[in-house]
Amino acid sequence: MQGVKHIVECRCILTQLKNRPDPVFHKFVVFSVLDKDRVQPNYAQCNNCGIVHKIIDLCKSEIISGKEELKSLETIEDIRFSLPDDLCEVLDSYSCELPNWQHVKFIYTTQQWDSHIILVKEEIDQVTQGKILRILDHNKFRIETFIDDFSPRV
């Protein structure tokens, strides 16, 4: 099994893009579990309009009609109870959203030690730099920096 974050598209449009002649639909990040290259179906709520999506494949979802809210959806507060306090503090300090929390919980649950999540990523002059949270074992983790230079090679 493998955990993966991916993007799905909603039918809503961000307020600042409503007046465009060509509508740009809102996209948001979700976390899914891959088992034998198949996504385990799950549900996620759009972080803009709140409508519920059934995640059916990577980057594919179906909107659940008539469901503007599901109280049974996992929250950050739910996950917080299953992780060490120090790790929760790191996720809080980087203002991590639900998919990152879900990914960390998945790493812990499946004991996929030496896995990582991206905490922050920034692009400056064709260079991507950021920080990852590497989970080494149940009570050991570290923050590492990375730099990827995508400039053309001559």
Same-domain check for residues 50 and 109:
no
Among 63, 85, 107, the domain boundary falls at 63
pLDDT, position 53: 95
Could you tell me if residue 113 is inside a domain? yes
Same-domain check for residues 41 and 88:
no
- pTM value is 0.88
Helices (H) and strands (E) in the chain, counts: 3, 9
Residue-range definition of the domain harbouring residue 24: 2-63
Could you tell me if residue 69 is inside a domain? no
Could you tell me if residue 90 is inside a domain? yes
Number of domains present in the structure of the chain: 2
- How would residue 135 be classed by pLDDT, with cut points 50, 70 and 90? very high
Write out pLDDT tens, residues 78-126: 999 999 999 999 999 999 999 999 999 999 999 999 999 999 999 988 8
Same-domain check for residues 81 and 134:
yes
Could you tell me if residue 7 is inside a domain? yes
Taking the CB of residue 96, how many other CB atoms lie within 10 A of it?
20
Cα–Cα distances in angstroms (integers) from residue 67 to residues 54, 138, 142, in the given order:
11, 37, 39
Sign of CA dihedral 11, 60, 31, 149: negative
Same-domain check for residues 59 and 81:
no
| pLDDT over 80 (residue 68) | no
| pLDDT over 70 (residue 150) | no
Could you tell me if residue 50 is inside a domain? yes
The DSSP letter of residue 15 is: G
Write out pLDDT tens, residues 7-63: 999 988 887 777 788 878 999 999 999 999 899 999 999 998 889 999 999 999 999
Same-domain check for residues 45 and 81:
no
Same-domain check for residues 56 and 22:
yes
Could you tell me if residue 139 is inside a domain? yes
Within a 13 Å sphere around the CA of 75, how many CA atoms are in the beta-carbon half? 6
| pLDDT over 70 (residue 154) | no
Could you tell me if residue 154 is inside a domain? no
pLDDT, position 116: 97
Asked if 97 and 47 count as a contact pair (C-beta separation under 8 A), the reply is yes
pLDDT, position 23: 79
- How would residue 69 be classed by pLDDT, with cut points 50, 70 and 90? confident
Cross-strand partners of 131? 120, 145
CA distance linking residue 129 with residue 146, whole number of Å: 5
